[in-house]
């Protein structure tokens, strides 16, 4: 008997990579196990919980009008949805603990995720385009930093905040590359210079940074919308350079085997180890500022790509890994980010002055990075996103949230340069600012 059109249509629907009826069954099984408190805290059990949460929230986010087009879609709803479920104690405490342990803490799957994205995004670029992009990236970062400082100081004057305080308490924490690489070392520098407790600086810095991070994520979604409305402002969402082309070798000229994928993963792990060696042993600090292992890793991967020592089949393998991670595992990472995000911090810091100061600094980062990026040959949307907003968010997690909201996960290497190298530049600047202004 012939299958009806209605039945056939239903069977073709996909949810979480499965036919919809199988997906619903899998979600119910994983969800019931999680909420009954009998789920394993192992990697397997944690991933089961993450999949159940991510698939449902992502699907909802992709279907909510306005949100799915202008705010950030499924990825962003996974992030905020999980954060709210945690805040209202809907998620079992054991689930939150196991997710944090797997993605952010002990196992640190987030680190592996970022390594895969960095290697794939860098090796997928043509050599000439790669070198030209990174050569113009530092001016774009500095453009965003300067413009953010100007708007921050001007806004501060409206609220009676002295220029020095605007720079020290607002601009530097927001543009410092996140929490671990920014607010924490900034507070240590503050303590060393002033003798005051680091916690006194950090307490406010993390609050203002949290507000700015939300604006950065929303701004990323709006930049994506701007690129859709005005296509000339952006490229293919994979490169920064205007008139550039991406050579992600998923085409017919390069066949990718499982050996190539394994080899590409091995290269990525070796590059990560180079970053660790540079950070821990060979050159931990430059001009008194600690350089993050990711920054060294990116530079090493860029060097390998520039020298042309990585065969095309391995570059294609790296791109395959990156595509899987950004396309499918990205929503799983967002579950971890939501579990790690304390949304209560945002609620307690929403004073008009703090909100407007943070907003104007984020806008300054967008305008400065976008304008200077355009002058050095970048697409303004992509430059504003990576060199601007990825400086103004909460570091690695913020980078992923911004790139996810902007649908530009392929730009992870540039985002990490902002958080790591850009953050290092801010620390060097802070060393002088604190010394002369406090």
Query: Residues 77-118: pLDDT tens digits?
Result: 888 899 899 999 999 999 999 999 998 787 888 888 888 888
If pLDDT is split at 50, 70 and 90, which confidence band does 2 have? very low
The pLDDT score that the predictor gives to residue 8 is: 45
How far apart (Å, rounded) are the C-alpha atoms in residues 175 and 186? Answer: 11
User: What are the boundaries of each domain within the chain?
Assistant: 13-107, 110-437
Q: What is the pLDDT of residue 363?
A: 97
Predicted pLDDT of residue 129: 67
What pLDDT score was predicted for residue 253? 66
Whole-model pTM? 0.71
pLDDT band at 71 (very low <50, low <70, confident <90, very high): low
pLDDT in tens, 318-377: 888 888 887 778 889 889 888 887 778 767 767 888 899 999 999 999 999 999 999 999
Average pLDDT for the chain = 84
Euclidean distance between the first and final Cα of the chain, in Å? 83
Concatenated DSSP letters for 93-129? HHHHHHHIIIIISSS-HHHHHHHHHHHHHHHTB-HHH
Q: Is the pLDDT of residue 308 over 80?
A: yes
402-438 pLDDT, tens digit each: 998 898 988 887 887 787 667 767 877 877 777 677 6
For residue 247, the model assigns a pLDDT of: 39
CA distance 174 to 178: 7
Q: What is the pLDDT of residues 198-240, one digit of tens each?
A: 767 877 887 888 889 889 999 999 999 999 999 999 988 888 8
Model confidence pLDDT, tens digit, residues 109-156 = 888 888 888 888 778 766 776 777 677 888 999 999 999 999 999 999
Run of H or E including 18 = strand 18-19
pLDDT of residue 409: 87
pLDDT of residue 383: 94
Integer Cα distance of 257 and 311 in angstroms: 13
DSSP E strand boundaries for 244-288: 285-286
Burial of 378 (0-12, 13-18, 19+ CB in 10 A): buried
Average pLDDT over residues 145-172: 93
Give the percent of the chain with pLDDT over 70: 87
């Amino acid at each position: 008997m012939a299958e009806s059109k209605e039945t056939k249509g239903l069977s073709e629907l996909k949810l979480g990579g499965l036919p919809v009826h199988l997906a619903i069954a899998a979600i119910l099984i994983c969800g019931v196990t999680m909420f009954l408190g009998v789920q394993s805290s192992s990697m397997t059990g944690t991933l089961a919980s993450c999949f159940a949460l991510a698939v449902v929230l992502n699907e909802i986010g992709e279907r909510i009008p306005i949100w799915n087009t202008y705010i950030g879609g499924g990825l962003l709803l996974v992030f905020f949805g999980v954060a709210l479920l945690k805040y209202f104690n809907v998620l079992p405490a054991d689930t939150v603990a196991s997710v944090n342990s797997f993605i952010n803490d002990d196992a640190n799957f987030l680190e592996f995720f970022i390594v895969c994205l960095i290697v794939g995004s860098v090796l997928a670029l043509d050599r000439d385009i790669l070198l030209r992009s990174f050569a113009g990236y530092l001016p774009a970062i500095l453009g965003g930093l300067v413009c953010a400082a100007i708007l921050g100081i001007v806004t501060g004057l409206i609220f009676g905040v002295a220029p020095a305080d605007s720079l020290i308490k607002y601009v530097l924490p927001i543009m410092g590359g996140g929490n671990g690489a920014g607010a924490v070392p900034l507070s240590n520098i503050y303590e060393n210079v002033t003798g005051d407790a680091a916690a006194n600086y950090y307490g406010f810095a993390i609050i203002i940074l949290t507000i700015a991070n939300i604006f950065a994520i929303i701004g990323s979604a709006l930049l994506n919308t701007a690129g859709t409305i005005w296509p000339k402002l952006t490229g293919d969402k994979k490169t920064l350079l205007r008139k550039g082309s991406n050579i992600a070798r998923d085409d017919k000229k390069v066949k990718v085997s499982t050996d190539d994928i394994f080899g590409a993963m091995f290269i990525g792990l070796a590059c990560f180890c180079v970053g660790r060696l540079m950070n821990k042993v060979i050159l931990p600090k430059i001009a008194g500022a600690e350089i993050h292992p990711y920054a060294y890793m990116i530079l090493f991967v860029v060097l390998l790509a520039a020298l042309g020592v990585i065969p095309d089949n391995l570059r294609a393998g790296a791109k395959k890994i990156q595509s899987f991670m950004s396309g499918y595992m990205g929503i799983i990472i967002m579950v971890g980010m939501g579990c790690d995000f304390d949304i209560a911090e945002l609620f307690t810091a929403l004073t008009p002055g703090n909100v407007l100061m943070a907003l104007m600094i984020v806008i300054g980062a967008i305008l400065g990075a976008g304008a200077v990026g355009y002058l050095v040959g970048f697409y303004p949307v992509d430059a504003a996103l990576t060199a601007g907003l990825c400086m103004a968010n909460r570091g690695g997690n913020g980078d992923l949230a911004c790139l996810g909201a902007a649908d530009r996960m392929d730009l992870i290497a540039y985002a990490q340069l902002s958080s790591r190298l850009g953050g290092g530049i801010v620390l060097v600047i802070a060393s002088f600012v604190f010394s002369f202004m406090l």
